[in-house]
């Protein structure tokens, strides 16, 4: 993700530096820290941003209750945006599913299949968990049983999320395929520009998409 972010910056007026490799950091020239690391490194990012009053964008998944407690403290001092997926396509996918469930009257079973590269450590993916929670909490949901999540780790796949609904009328499938990491890099950079002017607090990618204050 770091390489994708730097590559995208080269095509724009934005500048990016590797957080770990830059020893002498000029705090005045940092608009935001973008974190796609690990739960362990996430803590270091939050602490650095809090100590230096710098906004944080994090797409790191696999965070525990302890991590969220740290966020709960940090958000009193800096703006933090947490998102398991920063693709506009996933946001559109959720919106399409919402419209579909609003249009049907037949109760449906739901299954989520997520496929990622063999090196991805967390399973299921943060995006799959987010979609599962989103569907489970929809008002008046037509889903009549527990949502099953299946995870596969294959080759160099950037990310496939497939949501399948099955009822007496048939099977309906929604799917998003990420062809490269650029989609996530672009979303993270756009969110970083947006959050730079926000007040301390915790934000979601949906807040950015909806331009909430």
- 120 has catalytic annotation: yes
CA 59 to CA 38: how far, in whole Å?
9
Task: Report helix, strand or coil for 173.
Answer: strand
Q: What's the first-to-final CA gap in the chain, in angstroms?
A: 28
- Residue among 25, 109, 111, 120 flagged as catalytic: 120
- Residue among 116, 142, 161, 176 flagged as catalytic: 116
CA 52 to CA 63: how far, in whole Å?
23
- Evaluate the omega torsion of the peptide bond into residue 108 and state whether it is cis, within 30 degrees of 0: no
DSSP, res 198: S
Residue 67, token pair as written in the block: 């991590």
- 176 has catalytic annotation: no
Residue 161, token pair as written in the block: 């999320």
Largest CA distance in the chain: 62
* Residue positions annotated with a catalytic role: 116, 120
């Amino acid at each position: 993700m770091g390489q994708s972010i730097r590559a995208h910056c080269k095509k724009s007026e934005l500048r990016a530096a590797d957080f770990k490799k830059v020893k002498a950091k000029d705090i005045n020239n940092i608009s935001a820290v973008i974190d796609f690391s690990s739960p362990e490194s996430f803590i270091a990012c939050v602490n650095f941003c809090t100590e230096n009053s710098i906004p944080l964008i994090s797409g790191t998944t696999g965070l525990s209750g302890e991590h969220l407690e740290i966020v709960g403290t940090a958000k009193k001092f800096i703006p933090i945006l947490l998102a398991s997926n920063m693709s506009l396509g996933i946001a559109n996918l959720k919106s399409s599913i919402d419209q579909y469930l609003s249009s049907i009257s037949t109760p449906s079973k739901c299954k989520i299949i997520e496929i990622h590269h063999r090196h991805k450590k967390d399973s299921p993916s943060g995006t799959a968990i987010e979609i599962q929670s989103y569907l489970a909490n929809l008002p008046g949901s037509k889903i009549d049983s527990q949502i099953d999540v299946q995870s596969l780790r294959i080759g160099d796949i950037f990310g496939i999320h497939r949501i399948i609904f099955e009822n007496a009328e048939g099977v309906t499938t929604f799917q998003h395929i990420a062809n490269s990491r650029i989609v996530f890099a672009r979303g993270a950079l756009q969110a970083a520009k947006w959050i730079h002017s926000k007040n301390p607090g915790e934000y979601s990618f949906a807040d950015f998409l909806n331009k909430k204050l």
